[in-house]
Amino acid sequence: GGSTQENLEKFGGDTPMGRPGQPAELGPVFVLLASQESSYATGQVYGASGGGGNP
**Which tens digits make up the pLDDT trace of 9-54?**
777 777 888 888 888 988 898 899 999 999 998 888 877 777 776 5
Residue 40: predicted pLDDT: 92
In which band, very low, low, confident or very high, does the pLDDT at 2 lie, cut at 50, 70 and 90? Answer: low
Q: Is residue 45 part of a domain?
A: no
Q: Is residue 9 part of a domain?
A: yes
In Å, what is the CA distance from 40 to each residue of 8, 28, 34, 43, 45? 35, 18, 12, 10, 14
Q: Is residue 48 part of a domain?
A: no
Q: Is residue 31 part of a domain?
A: yes
Q: Answer yes or no: is pLDDT of 55 > 60.
A: no
Q: Is residue 22 part of a domain?
A: yes
> What's the domain count of the chain?
1
Residue 4: predicted pLDDT: 80
Residues 6+ apart with CB under 8 A from 51: 15, 16, 17
Domain ranges, residue 12: 4-38
Q: Is residue 30 part of a domain?
A: yes
In which band, very low, low, confident or very high, does the pLDDT at 1 lie, cut at 50, 70 and 90? Answer: low
